Structure 1
């Protein structure tokens, strides 16, 4: 069946190790767009963190979509929200209390991409996170937020070894009431239990009247596996994790070696 939607992870997939788009990536995506194929960025970032790349790729207009916050929000590239599944203040309290007890750096993102942390000692990874997503950082305890304050996701952050030590305990404490996923070496995320990239991609495909066989997904990490499991064709990057590769139907080259271009030419731009 012909591919009509390409879902692409951003960090370490769409972007090179220098956090840039390769010319070959821009070329094949623009070719796909000219064939009326939807190209949907599926990312843990907020919309503000991918707007620059959308512009470079030529993905624009109210009929183009992006999946943000690892599936917590589906929206048009112009910012019109199609669906969202957020977490409440009580969850923010519970996650913050756990982080403080375990001494793990922690922050949350609201649906507008602002970053909040209860710690005055802001971790350097949070600073990088804010820079990449064009986000402000606010030091606020849960008590300083309104009762109806909601978040898109919570993030335990830190060096990979630090997160390795607490990952199982985070999972046992918050699963299955929440979706817990290691989205990268430095990020362990907690989201609404109904949220993941695969569910969001399934919901968007249904809205567009597409079957899973008409969808191709490209990614590199654990948080991409749910969309691999939904899509008719699942592409793992050569630089991806072994777990992601185990769920893929094809392993392409790395993000620094035309991996996106290789996959799109092989499975989409075949004529």
Structure 2
């Protein structure tokens, strides 16, 4: 079980409880796919936004599956030692105070259990990489998975050994397992079943499983830190993009997913910001912390389109072109993605377009404590559209109640021919 050190609760030295109280005191942020870009850099705009909230008095915690070693250079870049930040590393297995390097809590995997895992994995085409402290131990130092992991972890040293079981002299914080996506996806489920109560195996990416103590995940670590700091969950923002971030988002008062996050993460989030390649962290902090009074009460067209990355909407080529109170327009091409085999528009694509545009319209009308889900779609297909046409959907709200929005959606070709007439009913819910 985690053992808490006798570390005093530390808030950002800039925080003053006598000044205007801050709504949020702790910002917990994942690194890869969230804080950093795809080339593992923090953009100047993101760095400036982080420094602004630090100057306001908020505390920042870097929460990552990386080893502490792989997080320290980012903590240095953001000056977290100066502002009293934290590093939650190894998916929550270790929490370190940046201001004095004290370890607040740690949880390792027993070498005996690692040995059982090693034996179990012999029949799988995967690479195992325990991380005992400041190095990666492997039997295949030339593996591109190992090299990639080292690079992500800021050049963490690699040590090749003839036998992992014999080489481990300390209980590791984490074991990484990498391989082909098809193998890794199934293996993650098998490990959770086979080692239930002994290990926690999390799919942190399509090619990577992170294995920790059963007592470890990012949510438990964040809750522990909140307790140490003496703050409530309502005072915490957490943001991430992968499955291992879900417990953290659920532990925070405001759980945020990146636009590049997978759908499971977005489903549990209270808000979805733009992607890690589109200043998602800056957008989030501007909206909820730095300039909430100036933050657009409604989403803008560019933001809506950025949100469509890697979704059905992007796959079908949908694009929002106009977004106003009670009225929305979107376009969608009639091409191989939206056609039936004979070159005629698929009716299902028309209904998907109608439901999407009505959803955008309802989202525009929501207050910050509301969310929306589609309830019913009913359409009539009036005329066919063919390969090469471009559709324009126009949605008008015809009923705006407390709990429902009813939209009338008409879909036209570029020549003005009415293709479909659709009614969409959305349910409006209050967030938890």
C-alpha displacement of 1:142: 4.2
C-alpha displacement of 1:131: 2.4
1:173 aligns with 2:202: no
What's the C-alpha RMSD, in Å, of the aligned pairs?
A: 1.7
C-alpha displacement of 1:236: 0.1
Match of 2:356 in 1: none
1:126 aligns with 2:146: yes
Match of 2:124 in 1: 102
Secondary structure in structure 2 of the residue aligned to 1:86: coil
1:227 aligns with 2:243: no
Equivalent of 1:92 in 80, 96, 114? 114
Equivalent of 2:212 in 172, 191, 197? 191
1:17-32 equivalences in 2 (<5 Å): 17-32=38-53
Structure 2, unpaired ranges of 5+ = 1-21, 294-432
Residues 64-118 of structure 1: CA distance to partner in whole angstroms, max 9, x if unpaired? 21100000000112532110000111011011111212232111111x231112x
Structure 1, unpaired ranges of 5+ = none
- d(CA) in 2 for partners of 1:62, 1:125: 35
Aligned residues: 268
- d(CA) in 1 for partners of 2:281, 2:70: 20
Q: Do 1:92 and 1:142's aligned partners in 2 also have CA atoms closer than 8 Å?
A: no
Q: Do 2:141 and 2:147's aligned partners in 1 also have CA atoms closer than 8 Å?
A: no
Larger Rg: 2
C-alpha displacement of 1:136: 1.5
With CA pairs under 8 Å and 6+ residues apart, which has the higher RCO, 1 or 2? 1
Residues 10-65 of structure 1: CA distance to partner in whole angstroms, max 9, x if unpaired? 00000011211111111110000001100110001112212222222222248321
Match of 2:379 in 1: none
Secondary structure in structure 2 of the residue aligned to 1:11: coil
- d(CA) in 1 for partners of 2:141, 2:60: 39
C-alpha displacement of 1:120: 3.6
- d(CA) in 1 for partners of 2:140, 2:76: 35
Q: Do 2:129 and 2:176's aligned partners in 1 also have CA atoms closer than 8 Å?
A: yes
Question: TM-score, structure 2 length as denominator?
Answer: 0.59
Match of 2:89 in 1: 68
